[in-house]
Structure 1
Amino acid sequence: MSAILSADDLNDFISPGVACIKPVETLPAAKPAAENDSYEVSFNTDQPLPSDLPPAQISLTDCLACSGCVTSAEAVLVSLQSHAEVLQELDSAPGLRLRGNPSGTGIGIENLDTGGRIYVASVSPQTRASIAVTFGVTEREAGYMIEQLLSGPKGIKNRAVYRNAFQWVVDTNVAREACLVLGADEVMESMTDGPKPSNEAEDGAAMKQPKKPILTSSCPGWICYAEKTHPHVLPHLSRLKSPQALMGTLLKTTLSRKLGISPDRIWHVAIMPCFDKKLEASREELTDAVWEGTGTRGVRDVDSVITSKELLMLAESRRVDFSTLPRTPLSSRIPFPDPKLDSFLFPRTRRHGNGKPEAGSSGGNLHYILQYFASQHDGASIQTTRGRNADVVEYTVTSSTGEILLKTARYYGFRNIQNLVRKLKPVKPSRMPGGKPIGSARRPGGKPSGPDYAYVEVMACPGGCTNGGGQIKVDDPVVTGREGSEVKPGPLEQKAWLAQVDEAYFSGEDSGKEDEIQDNRDDMVDGISPAYIKDTLEHWAATTGIDLGRLVYTSYREVVSDVGKKPGDTERVIEIAGKIGGGW
C-alpha cells in the first residue's frame, strides 16, 4: 500500500473490486433493459462493463467501508486528495482575514460573509528531509522553503485569484512529542498490577485499554490492513491518534472555540510522506462529530493530505520555482489565538530534533518508550538484537542484575508484519478428536507461544516513513533533470538516495539553545519533558471544554462485508449497499 498511486497510471480504474459496493450504488437511473443486460462487477477483463457506464464515483470513506477494493480502485480514491484540490479550495472564495494585537488576544475576523475559510497546513519531518535532499539544503532550510511556498509573498498566493495563503504552517513534530509521552503512559499502565480496564470492543469500535503487546497505530496502511484482514489484532492497537490526526484535532478545536466559528470554516491540509495518510484523513472517527459528541457525520480534522512529491506539483501548478524560494523564516505572523498553545506550536527554539538514528525514521515511538522505561529504573540498560532482517529488531530493558524488565520489538514492512500477526492469532480447538489446537503453537505448559513483547512498533513501509510512497524518488524528473543523466536510476541508486534522506532526517538538530519553557526541568527524557507536554494537553482540554480522552484517543473496528462473495448476485449487492449507505 506504500507504492505511489496515480489514476494517470491506470487503465482499469473504472473496474472496481468485486467487494466494492459504491459503483453499484451510484449507478444512474437507466432505461429498462433486457433481462440478460444486467450490470455486473467482475474481474473478467474479457467481458468489459457496458461502454455507456460513467466512471465509478467513490469517496475515500467508502473505500474504508469496503473489505476488498482492488489497488486500482484505491488509486482513484487517493487521487481525490491532491494538489489540484488544494488550489481549487484556495481559489473558491476570499479567505477569512485575521487581525489582532501582538499579545495574541482580541483577534478579529474579516470576510465572514464571503464563504471563505482560514487555511492551515501541517508539515511532517520526513517531507522536509525529502525536500532537503532534492534541493541540496538542510532539513531546517527545507522547512523554511515550504513555509515560504504556502504563506510567503513569493509563494502560491502570488498568482492566486484571491491571494489566499495558509495562515499558519505548523510542524507535526510538536504533536509527535505529545504522542510519545502519551504512548509511554499507555505502555506503563498496561504493565501495572491490579485490575485493568476492559479492552472489549463496544459495538465493534471503542476500546479502553489495549492488550499486550500494544501495537503502534500511527501507520494508516497497517491499520487499514488490520481492520480488513486481521481483526484479531485490533484489541492490541494503541488507542492514540497519529501526530497528523492529533494536530488536526488541536487546530480545529482550538480555532473554532477561540474564534467563535464553525469547524468547517477552517481548512487543514497535511503534507505527509505517505499516500495512505489520505485514507487516515477520511476516517469518520477523526471528525468533529467525535469531539463534539454529535454522533453524526462531521467535518474532518484533516481536510486534505498531499505528499512530498505533490508539494512540488503544487508549486509547479502556480509556476513557482521551488528551488528559488527563500531559505529563511517569514518575517512575521499573526499569533495563534491561545498564547500557551502558540508557544507550544511555534517554540522560539526547536525543543527537539527528529530523533537519533537508533530511534528510526517513523517518529521514534519505540525508542522513547525504551528511554522512558529505563529512566524509571536505576541502573537499567537497553540491549538490541537484530531479527531475521534489518526491519525486525528486538529490544530488552534489563536491570543491573540482568533481569529482563521490558521486551519490545520493531516490525517494518508487510512481509514482516504478516509474521507478527500470525503469531498473535488466537488458538482454535481442533475439530478432530484428540487433535492439536489450530493456530499459534502450544508450549508444553499449555500457553500460546506468541510474542511476549509489551510493545511493538509497526510500520507498513520497509525502512520506515522516510521511504513512504509519496516521497520524492531518485528517478523522479526533478532529480534526474538536475543531474542531467540519461540513464534511469535503479534499485541501488534508490537505496543510496534513501540513505541521504535518512541522513537529512536525523540532521534535524536542536537549535543549540535552551528552550525557555522547558529550561531546567528535571524530568527530561530524550529531550522531551513529559510534565510540560501533559500540562499543555490539560490546558488544551480546559480551553476547549472537551474531555482530553475524546481529543487524543480514537477507535478501530473490524471492516466486515460479504459484498461480492456471491459473484453475479446483483440483488444481494444492492441490498447491502442500501443497508450500510456506502460508508461506515
Structure 2
Amino acid sequence: MSLLSEEDLNDFISPALACTKPTEIKRTKVKSNVNALGEYEVGVDDGEDEVLEKVTITLSDCLACSGCITSSEEIMLQQQSHGVFLEAMSKRDITTKLAISISPQCRLSMATYYGMDISDFDKCFANFFQKRFDAKYVVGTQLGRNVSIQQVVKKLTDWKKSKEYEVDSRPRLSAADPGFVIYTEKTKPDLVPLLLNVKSPQQITGALLHETFDKNHKTETQPDTKLYVLGVMACFDKKLEASRPDSAGEVDCVITPKEFVAMLSELNEIFEQYKSPSDDILSEMCPEGWDPELHWCINHGSSSGGFAYQYIVSRQRTLSSELIKDSKIMKLLGKNNNICEHRLINVKTGETIASASELSGFRNIQNMVRHLSRGGPKGTSSFPKRRVQSLRKRQSSTNTTSTTTSGTTTGRLGTLVAQPYSSEFIEVNAAPGGCLNGSGLLNGEQSTVRKRQFTQQLEERFHSSFTMVDPLDITQWNTSEILDSDRVYEYTFHAAEPQDKQKDIVTVGNTW
C-alpha cells in the first residue's frame, strides 16, 4: 500500500467532478434475472449464481482520463508501491535480475534521515539491496540525466534554427516533471506543442540499464533472462511517468524514500546494520561499461536537474572566443523564490544572447499558462502586461548575479528583472522549490514554515555533498561503449479531449 496522504502532497490537484474510465469495455453476456414482464426473479433453475467480473481501475486508465490529474491519481495506484515490489520479489525466479536506480534528492534526504554522509549512505543502500534482494545493479541517475540534458540542448538548438521558431517563439517547456506534463495534457491542450519531448533521467536511466543488461546477459542460451528495475524517486508523481504507455518496459516500479522506510519496517530490517566496510561495493554493483563514479555525481544548475542552466552554458560555449570574453551568465530572481532566469548577456552592449528560466509551484504554473496561452500574434497573450515598477524597485536592492563560468563576476543587477515568459526554455516543476521539496522525501517537520526551512537546508547541502560532472562534455563520461549517439528518448504527448465545462472543475490542494 502506498504511503501517500493529502498532507504530503505539494503537487496535488483534487479530482475533477467527472472521473471516468474511457477505455474499451469488454461486454460479456450475463444471464439476466429479469423476465419478459420486467419482474425480477429471486432464483434461477440451475441454482447457480452468476458472478460478475470485478471492476478495476488501473493507473493506465487514469492517464487516459481527462478527469483526475497529477497526484490524485495515486489513490488508484495498483502497480507502483513497495508492497507490489515485495510481491514481485517473492515471485521472482532465477531468470529475473534486479536493478535499482536512485535520484540524488532521495540520497540526500535519506542520508540526512539516517545521519550518514552521502558516501556512507550510498554504500549502505547498495549493500542492503545486494544482501536482501540479491540485486545485480545499483546506480545513481546522473548518466541518464547527462543524456537527458544533452538531448534537451540539441532539441532546443535545432528548434531555434527552424522555421517552427519563426512561427511560434513561445518558450519550450521541460517534460521531466510528470505532474506538470499530465496537467498540461489534460487541461491545457494549447500548451502541449510547447512540451519538449525528451524523457526524464528516471526513464533514460531505466532504458540504459535494460540496454546494458540485454547486451551482456541476454543470449541464445538464456533468451528468457530479464531485468526488473526499481526506481527510488523524490515525488509520487514519478510513478505516473513510469506508467505512461511510451515509458513501458523502462522502469517497473517506483517508490519514494517514505515507502522505503516503511518497507524496512515491514521487513523488520535496520538500515544502519547494512553499513558496508568495503569501498568496492559500488563498483561491484555497477553495470558493465558504466563509469563506476559518474552516475553518482550531479551537475551544476538547479537541484531539480539543471536543464535551464546547462542550456545557457551550452549556448555560451558556442560563442566565438572574442564573444565569450564579453559574455556573462546572470541569475535573475523573479517575483518570488520559485522563479529565476539564467540570462546570457554581452556585457559590452547589454544584449541578451540567450535566456532560460526555472519555475515551480502551481500558482506560478497558472501564471505561466496565462502568459503563454494563445491570445495574440506569434503566441503572445491577450492578458495585460504585469506591472513591474514596484518589483524592479524591490529587486534593485536584492538581486545579484550568479554564475560558475570563468571570467565572470558577482554584483548587483540594478533594475534587471527575471522575465521567464520571454525565455527560450522553462524548466518547470510542480512542487514549489522543485524536487528537494518532493512529497515522497523524509521531511518530518509538521508546520509549513519548518518544512520550508528544512527544505532550504537540504538545498544548501545539495551542491556541496556530491561530486560535480559536466553533462555537456561527453569525454568525461567514460561510457562511449554503452551510449548510442543516434538513440533518442522521447515521449509522445496527447492532448486530452476537453470535458464539458461544467464538469471540468478542479480544486487546488492545501500545500500548493
Determine the C-alpha separation between the residues in 2 that align with 1:390 and 1:140.
Answer: 30
Distance of aligned partners of 1:143 and 1:335 in 2 relative to their CA distance in 1, 3 Å threshold: closer
Aligned to 1:500: 457
Whether 1:382 aligns to 2:329 is: yes
Determine the C-alpha separation between the residues in 2 that align with 1:138 and 1:337.
Answer: 24
Q: Aligned ranges for residues 462-501 of structure 1 at < 5 Å?
A: 462-475=432-445, 489-501=446-458
Determine the C-alpha separation between the residues in 2 that align with 1:381 and 1:510.
Answer: 25
Q: Deviations over 1:72-106 (max 9, x none)?
A: 9623323541111111111103333xxxxxxxxxx
Whether 1:399 aligns to 2:372 is: no
Aligned to 1:222: 180
Determine the C-alpha separation between the residues in 2 that align with 1:212 and 1:375.
Answer: 24
Task: Decide whether the 8 Å contact of 1:132 with 1:504 is kept in 2.
Answer: no
Aligned to 2:357: 409
Determine the C-alpha separation between the residues in 1 that align with 2:70 and 2:172.
Answer: 29
Determine the C-alpha separation between the residues in 2 that align with 1:322 and 1:71.
Answer: 31
Task: Decide whether the 8 Å contact of 1:408 with 1:454 is kept in 2.
Answer: yes
**Partner of 1:406: helix, strand, or coil?**
strand
Task: Decide whether the 8 Å contact of 1:7 with 1:76 is kept in 2.
Answer: no
Distance of aligned partners of 1:382 and 1:353 in 2 relative to their CA distance in 1, 3 Å threshold: same
Aligned to 1:125: 104
Aligned to 1:295: none
Shift of 1:507: 2.7
**Partner of 2:77: helix, strand, or coil?**
helix
Letter in 2 for 1:413: G
Aligned to 2:206: 248
Letter in 2 for 1:506: H
Determine the C-alpha separation between the residues in 1 that align with 2:254 and 2:421.
Answer: 35
Letter in 1 for 2:261: L
Distance of aligned partners of 1:351 and 1:123 in 2 relative to their CA distance in 1, 3 Å threshold: closer
Shift of 1:491: 2.0
Whether 1:85 aligns to 2:84 is: yes
Distance of aligned partners of 1:254 and 1:424 in 2 relative to their CA distance in 1, 3 Å threshold: same
Aligned to 2:155: 186
Aligned to 1:284: 245
Aligned to 1:540: 483
396-405 vs 555-564, which moves further: 555-564
**Partner of 1:440: helix, strand, or coil?**
coil
Whether 1:556 aligns to 2:493 is: yes
Letter in 2 for 1:383: M
Aligned to 1:175: 144
Shift of 1:396: 1.5
Instruction: Tell me which of 106, 109, 115 is aligned to 1:136.
Output: 115
Determine the C-alpha separation between the residues in 2 that align with 1:403 and 1:8.
Answer: 46
Instruction: Tell me which of 305, 312, 321 is aligned to 2:270.
Output: 321
Shift of 1:17: 5.4
The two structures have a TM-score, normalised by structure 1, of: 0.66
Shift of 1:534: 8.8
Distance of aligned partners of 1:83 and 1:218 in 2 relative to their CA distance in 1, 3 Å threshold: same
Calculate the aligned-residue CA RMSD, in Å.
4.0
Shift of 1:557: 1.3
Aligned to 1:309: 258
Q: Deviations over 1:12-35 (max 9, x none)?
A: xxx995231269948996855699
Shift of 1:197: 9.6
Determine the C-alpha separation between the residues in 2 that align with 1:266 and 1:426.
Answer: 45
Shift of 1:416: 0.2
Distance of aligned partners of 1:395 and 1:8 in 2 relative to their CA distance in 1, 3 Å threshold: closer
Letter in 2 for 1:395: H
Distance of aligned partners of 1:553 and 1:72 in 2 relative to their CA distance in 1, 3 Å threshold: closer
Distance of aligned partners of 1:92 and 1:450 in 2 relative to their CA distance in 1, 3 Å threshold: closer
The two structures have a TM-score, normalised by structure 2, of: 0.75
Distance of aligned partners of 1:319 and 1:450 in 2 relative to their CA distance in 1, 3 Å threshold: closer
Q: Deviations over 1:328-376 (max 9, x none)?
A: 55645657674xx323xx23xx5884345xx222011112122222233
Distance of aligned partners of 1:563 and 1:427 in 2 relative to their CA distance in 1, 3 Å threshold: closer
Aligned to 1:202: none
| Structure 1: unaligned runs, 5 residues or longer | 10-14, 38-51, 97-116, 158-163, 200-209, 288-299, 430-436, 444-448, 476-488, 512-525, 568-584
Determine the C-alpha separation between the residues in 2 that align with 1:263 and 1:302.
Answer: 18
Task: Decide whether the 8 Å contact of 1:413 with 1:462 is kept in 2.
Answer: yes
Distance of aligned partners of 1:248 and 1:450 in 2 relative to their CA distance in 1, 3 Å threshold: closer
Shift of 1:428: 6.8
Q: Deviations over 1:432-451 (max 9, x none)?
A: xxxxx9952489xxxxx993
Shift of 1:263: 8.3
Calculate percent identity across the aligned residue pairs. Answer: 25
Determine the C-alpha separation between the residues in 1 that align with 2:313 and 2:382.
Answer: 31
Letter in 1 for 2:87: Q
Q: Aligned ranges for residues 265-280 of structure 1 at < 5 Å?
A: 265-280=226-241
Determine the C-alpha separation between the residues in 2 that align with 1:323 and 1:375.
Answer: 45
Q: Aligned ranges for residues 437-476 of structure 1 at < 5 Å?
A: 440-441=382-383, 451-475=421-445
Q: Deviations over 1:280-308 (max 9, x none)?
A: 00111113xxxxxxxxxxxx211100001
Task: Decide whether the 8 Å contact of 1:271 with 1:305 is kept in 2.
Answer: yes
Distance of aligned partners of 1:393 and 1:331 in 2 relative to their CA distance in 1, 3 Å threshold: closer
**Partner of 1:191: helix, strand, or coil?**
helix
Task: Decide whether the 8 Å contact of 1:149 with 1:315 is kept in 2.
Answer: no
Distance of aligned partners of 1:323 and 1:382 in 2 relative to their CA distance in 1, 3 Å threshold: same
Letter in 2 for 1:370: I
Letter in 1 for 2:143: V
Aligned to 1:62: 61
249-258 vs 266-275, which moves further: 249-258
Determine the C-alpha separation between the residues in 2 that align with 1:16 and 1:26.
Answer: 25
Letter in 2 for 1:426: R
Count of residues in correspondence between the two structures: 440
Task: Decide whether the 8 Å contact of 2:71 with 2:237 is kept in 1.
Answer: no
Distance of aligned partners of 1:442 and 1:75 in 2 relative to their CA distance in 1, 3 Å threshold: closer
Shift of 1:57: 1.6
Shift of 1:320: 0.8
Determine the C-alpha separation between the residues in 2 that align with 1:337 and 1:4.
Answer: 31
Letter in 1 for 2:440: G
Shift of 1:466: 0.9
Determine the C-alpha separation between the residues in 2 that align with 1:508 and 1:33.
Answer: 70
Determine the C-alpha separation between the residues in 1 that align with 2:7 and 2:54.
Answer: 14
Shift of 1:312: 1.0
Distance of aligned partners of 1:490 and 1:56 in 2 relative to their CA distance in 1, 3 Å threshold: farther
Task: Decide whether the 8 Å contact of 2:108 with 2:458 is kept in 1.
Answer: yes
Q: Deviations over 1:101-144 (max 9, x none)?
A: xxxxxxxxxxxxxxxx1111101101011112112211222222
Determine the C-alpha separation between the residues in 2 that align with 1:241 and 1:171.
Answer: 16
**Partner of 2:484: helix, strand, or coil?**
helix
Shift of 1:198: 11
Whether 1:146 aligns to 2:153 is: no
Determine the C-alpha separation between the residues in 1 that align with 2:109 and 2:27.
Answer: 42
Task: Decide whether the 8 Å contact of 2:357 with 2:426 is kept in 1.
Answer: yes
Distance of aligned partners of 1:75 and 1:311 in 2 relative to their CA distance in 1, 3 Å threshold: same
Task: Decide whether the 8 Å contact of 1:139 with 1:507 is kept in 2.
Answer: no
Letter in 1 for 2:156: V
Shift of 1:503: 3.3
